[in-house]
Chain A
Amino acid sequence: MPLARLLYMSFQVGDQLGFDNYITLFQQERTILAIKNTLQISVLSTLFATIFGASIAYIVAYTDVQYKKLIEVLTICPTVIPSYIITLSWSTVFSRKGSLNAYITSKGLEALNVYSMWGIVLALSICGIPIVYLMTINTLRKIPRDLEFASLTSGYSVANTMFKINLKQAIPSIIGGGILAFLGSIDNFSVPAFLGTSAGIPVLSTYIYEKVIGFGPSSFNLAAALSVMLSVIALSGTVLQTKFVRKSSAMESVKEDYSVRIYLGPFRWFVQTLVLGILLLVNVAPLVTMLMSSVQDGYGDTFFDNFTLSNYEYVFTNAGVRTSVINSLTLAISACIICIIVGTAVAYMKVRHDGKTIRFIEQGIAFTYAVPGIVVALSMIFHWALIPNIYGTSRILLIAYVTRYLILQVKGSVVAVSSVEESLEEASMVCGMNKLKMWIRILIPLLTKQVLASSFLIFIGAMTELSLSSILAAAGSKTIGLTIFALQQGGAYNSSIALSSVMVLSILAAYIVSHLVNRQRSRK
């Protein structure tokens, strides 16, 4: 519904319908520039993400490098750390007065500026690598070894076999992952917002934001038109992606094979150092730099001379920050609870009584996830602005979060529900239990773990959300992401990195706790 209204708005000119909004947009140079930038940035970052993601997946899946667990954790950590924090941490590394740039300028070279096109590409590539990695690694593991052996006995060398057999098999997944990374890039609002705004590099998502914030006479309609364009790109990508996934789905039932397929011999040490080195440099070093500079003040010579907690003092005492933390927490928890109830109900109906209606509902839910966040936000405004007491309160954010993240819960719950055999329920009925008791005694205990795993993802996502809240939040309903954004844009750079550091540490702590809990449970 809200999205339909968006489509309608995009064609609305005064009281009539027409293509005027699109025409106006294409007459503006900035629109063309934004589209060009969006495509350029997305394609480049997708390319990098695909090459790196697939290579790391290949090395982890097939070779005998050590520390595979560590490599995997490092590779996928950008999925849980919000992209604006990654961006912030990189901007710390390349800050004008930072040691790296000091070194570069001392060599007589021009200082590297992260507030530029390549800075955005870099940050988006980092966000895309884990997507490609996750899509590729399972496929690689699932390619049966016999297929390789058959090629070897046909007279092909290991390298030739990898190229002619394994790569060919994995290509649908790699491309599928690449498309997802591409979608992630055009969808991403925070990276170009943090890096591109000051450098004057508009992309579609930030351009929409500009239009909405601009409040011109027809700005909402123009923004709607832009959103439709962005959605069209995103949706065609999604369609393409599902096509590729279906191609590779023939192997779904094959078991994963974790055995080592390629012994690197003397190169093992080199390869594992290289991979770990790159990952540490790319994914960990910036965060550490950020953590370190968050306790710095001024430009002294040594680390301890300038040690200060004043940045944190601000973060922990400022009322605005505190409200935003409370807001985000409440929103995330409420969104999780609603998602668990609605999502599991939908999942249960889908698994047990699959029908046209439920499939339609599921597609509707999936749709709002495929469409870029900023577009969802915009359509929320158009739709809910007509209903009193929603727009301008935190309620609209809650609705937006639920709309956006519900599909994650549905997918997680579908997995959970289908792992419970129907006969277990029937057995309970035969024992004389009614439906309600059956749920309490049988289903809920069996589903809890799986269901909570996906709601954990939603929680982290909602806690760190930026693109929805940037448009929907009002004065009293600011979220953490928005606060960091506002601090950074407003020049309070140190405070923003201090708050980001707190976030990173909290996420880390949350993961360690959930890991420990899981381990304890599985030990039982």
Chain B
Amino acid sequence: MSLLIKEVSQIYDTATAVDDISVEIQDGEFIAILGPSGCGKTTLLRIIAGFIHATRGTVLSGDEVFTRNKFHMPVNARDLSMVFQSFALWPHMTVREHIEYPLQSKRQSHLSADEKKAMVDEAIRSTGLEKLQTRLPGELSGGQKQRVSLARAIVSKPKLLLMDEPLSALDAELKISMRKEIKDIHTMTKSTIIYVTHDQSEALSMADRIIIMKDGKIEQMGTPKEIYEQPQTIFAATFVSKCNLVKGTYNGDDFTAYDGVTKYDGAGLPVCFKEANVYPVRPEDFTMNNTKDGIVGVITNKQYNGREIHYKVECDSDFFTVYSDVLADFAIGDTIYLKKETK
């Protein structure tokens, strides 16, 4: 039992939104599809949901065919549910009515009234909505709305739970606390979750596996640790771990930066960096000193963030981002030297 996506393409008149994507997702996995806007991640999600009929390809859920050739199973026949960025609450229904709604469909007609009531109560309890059951959506805050949306999605215990940027309409603090709630729900329901987002920290903190998409194609697939520490493409390096790309030349595995002096060890780096003659350095891997050790540069911007300070450093013609601890305090305009720490 797994979700199999095979050679799926979505081709529009002028553009290819999803380009020959194949993925196998295991039962109970939490998958994040991460990418910038327009990369085709939402299109892929909607193909799985059945709102969009893919031009080509196959989607199988276990032994059930969702999409194959010209066949598309109707959305309402698929055993899945979805959480929307806009919450998609119906203005005329109360919180409890929302959560009862999926169970009143034909798909759930095999359940008895008592079972349904128990399921609704459980969904309400697990999302902490007990006191809001009779409210209408207009009387709820953003976080409460998203909880209703979540409760509605999990009440029927679907095998597959799709989430389309569910946190992007919430404010910063709420985002962090909702991450935990979604994780808890995943542990509790054991559903397969496919979570679309453009926020790399959301993907890194919640997912079992991350799929990075760009221009309709998969750039890299792997666990958060793999994605962060071993980016396989330049895009993955800059998009997820915000790597600085230091220009220079390779001699085998030995990298010499553009200043001709600084040398890094390029062993194990994917070939794409060598072909592009750049070396990826994460912002927290640079340290600054004024002892002429490393690449020379001038600080052009400084943002104090409490636990760390974010610097913008102009080196030659490039701007590098450096996260440094608050102990090393430099001022804008200072000439400093950047040294790469090796772990």
Q: Which residues of A contact B (CB under 8 A)?
A: 144, 146-147, 149-158, 160, 165, 168-169, 250-251
Any chain A CB within 8 A of the CB of B304?
no
Interface string of B99-115 (1 = CB under 8 A from A): 00110011110000000
Q: Which of A146, A150, A156 meets B152, CB within 8 Å?
A: A150
Interface residues of B in 55-91 (CB under 8 A from A): 74-76, 78, 80-82, 84-91
* Closest A-B pairs by Cβ, 10 of them: A155-B105, A155-B107, A146-B88, A154-B102, A152-B75, A150-B88, A153-B82, A146-B84, A146-B86, A153-B81
B92 within 8 A of A: yes
Task: Compute how far the CA of A160 lies from the CA of B74 in the bound complex, rounded to whole angstroms.
Answer: 13
A contact residues around B321 at 8 Å (CB) = none
Q: Which of B49, B76, B149 has the most CB of A within 10 A?
A: B76
Residue of A nearest to B149 (CB): A150
B156 near A: Cβ within 8 Å? Answer: yes
- Rounded to whole Å, the gap between the CB of B98 and the closest CB of chain A is 9
Interface residues of B in 97-144 (CB under 8 A from A): 101-102, 105-108, 138
Instruction: Check A169 against B91 for contact (C-beta < 8 Å).
Output: yes
Given contacts A157-B74, A250-B91, A250-B138, contact A151 B86 (CB under 8 A): no
Q: A154-B101, A155-B106, A155-B107 are in contact. Are A149 and B76 (CB under 8 A)?
A: no
Residues of B within 8 A of A154 (CB): 76, 81, 101-102, 105, 152, 156
Q: How far is the CB of A15 from chain B (nearest CB, A)?
A: 56
> How many B residues have CB within 8 A of the partner chain?
31
Assess whether B76 is in contact with A150, with CB atoms less than 8 Å apart.
Answer: no
B156 touches A149 (CB 8 A): no
Interface residues of B (CB under 8 A from A): 49-51, 74-76, 78, 80-82, 84-92, 101-102, 105-108, 138, 149, 152-153, 156, 162
Q: Which of A152, A153, A158, A168 has the most CB of B within 10 A?
A: A153
> What's the Cα separation between A299 and B156 when bound, in Å?
73
Q: Which residue of B lies closest to A251 (CB)?
A: B91
Main secondary structure of the interface of A (DSSP, over half): helix
| B88: chain A residues within 8 A (beta carbon) | 144, 146-147, 149-150
Other A-B pairs, 16, CB within 8 Å; known A146-B86, A154-B101: A144-B88, A146-B87, A147-B89, A149-B51, A149-B88, A152-B51, A153-B49, A153-B75, A153-B78, A153-B81, A155-B107, A156-B106, A157-B76, A158-B74, A168-B90, A251-B91
* Cross-chain pairs A/B with CB under 8 angstroms, 24 sampled: A144-B86, A146-B84, A146-B87, A149-B49, A149-B51, A149-B75, A149-B82, A149-B84, A149-B88, A153-B49, A153-B75, A153-B80, A153-B82, A154-B81, A154-B156, A155-B105, A155-B108, A155-B156, A156-B76, A156-B106, A158-B74, A160-B76, A160-B105, A250-B91
Which residues of A lie under 8 Å from residue B108 when comparing CB positions?
155
Assembled-state Cα–Cα distance A168/B51 (Å): 22
Q: Give the distance to chain B from A255, nearest Cβ to Cβ, in Å.
A: 11
The closest CB in chain A to the CB of B158 belongs to A153
A168 to chain B, nearest CB (A): 5
Q: How far is the CA of A303 from the CA of B182 in the complex (A)?
A: 76
Minimum distance in angstroms from A166 CB to a CB of chain B: 10
Please determine whether A155 and B102 come into contact, CB atoms closer than 8 angstroms: yes
Rounded to whole angstroms, the CA-CA distance of A154 and B84 in the bound complex is 13
B90 A169 Cβ-Cβ under 8 A: yes
- Is the CB–CB distance between B105 and A150 below 8 Å? no
- Contact A150–B91 (Cβ < 8 Å): no
Contact B76 A147 (CB under 8 A): no
Q: Are B91 and A155 in contact (CB under 8 A)?
A: no
**Chain A residues, CB < 8 A from B91:** 169, 250-251
Quick check: B76 and A155 within 8 Å, CB to CB? yes
| A155-B108, A156-B105 known; A165-B90 Cβ under 8 A | yes
A160, B105: Cα distance in complex, Å: 9
Most buried by B among A150, A156, A157, A251: A150
Q: How far is the CB of A193 from chain B (nearest CB, A)?
A: 42
Residues in chain B near residue A250, CB distance under 8 A: 91, 138
Q: Which residues of the other chain, B, contact A147 by a CB distance below 8 angstroms?
A: 88-90
In the complex the two chains form, what is the Cα distance from A153 to B46 in whole Å? 11
Q: Which residues of A contact B84 (CB under 8 A)?
A: 146, 149-150
Quote the shortest CB–CB distance from A399 to chain B (angstroms).
44
Report the Cα distance A250→B91, complex, angstroms: 9
Find out whether the CB atom of A168 lies under 8 angstroms from the CB atom of B92: yes
> Is A151 a contact of B92 with CB atoms below 8 Å?
no
Give CA–CA (A11, B92) in the complex, Å.
46
- Quote the shortest CB–CB distance from B7 to chain A (angstroms): 25
Could you say which residues of chain B place their CB within 8 Å of the CB of A144? 86, 88
Please give the distance in Å from A266's CB to the nearest CB on chain B: 15
With contacts A146-B84, A250-B138 known, is A152 near B76, CB below 8 A? Answer: yes
Assembly CA distance A319 to B72 (angstroms): 72
B79 → chain A closest CB, angstroms: 9
CA distance in complex: A155, B84 (Å): 16
A265 to chain B, nearest CB (A): 12
Q: Could you say which residues of chain A place their CB within 8 Å of the CB of B76?
A: 152-158, 160
Residues of B within 8 A of A168 (CB): 90, 92
In angstroms, Cα B102 to Cα A155, docked, is 6
| Residues on B with beta carbons closer than 8 Å to the beta carbon of A151 | 90, 101
**B126 → A minimal CB distance (Å):** 18
Which residue of B49, B92, B138 has the most chain A CB atoms within 10 A of its CB atom? Answer: B92
Assembly CA distance A154 to B50 (angstroms): 13
- Asked whether B152 lies within 8 Å of A169 as measured between CB atoms, the reply is no
Residues of B within 8 A of A152 (CB): 50-51, 75-76
- Measured between beta carbons, the chain B residues less than 8 angstroms from A158 are 74, 76
A156 to B100, CA, bound (A): 13
CA distance A169 to B93 in the complex (A): 10
A488 to B181, CA, bound (A): 75
Q: How far is the CA of A511 from the CA of B49 in the complex (A)?
A: 46
Give Cα A144 to B90, complex, Å: 10
Nearest chain-A residue to B138 (Cβ)?
A: A250
Q: Which of B75, B86, B101: most chain A Cβ within 10 A? A: B75
Most buried by B among A149, A157, A158, A160: A149
CA distance A213 to B35 in the complex (A): 77
CB of B78 to closest CB in A, whole Å: 8
User: Which chain A positions have C-beta within 8 A of B107?
Assistant: 155
Cα–Cα distance between A146 and B152 once the two chains are bound (Å): 14
Q: Closest chain A residue to B101 by CB distance?
A: A154
Closest partner residue, chain B, to A144 (CB atom): B86
Give the distance in Å from the alpha carbon of A157 to the alpha carbon of B107 in the complex.
10
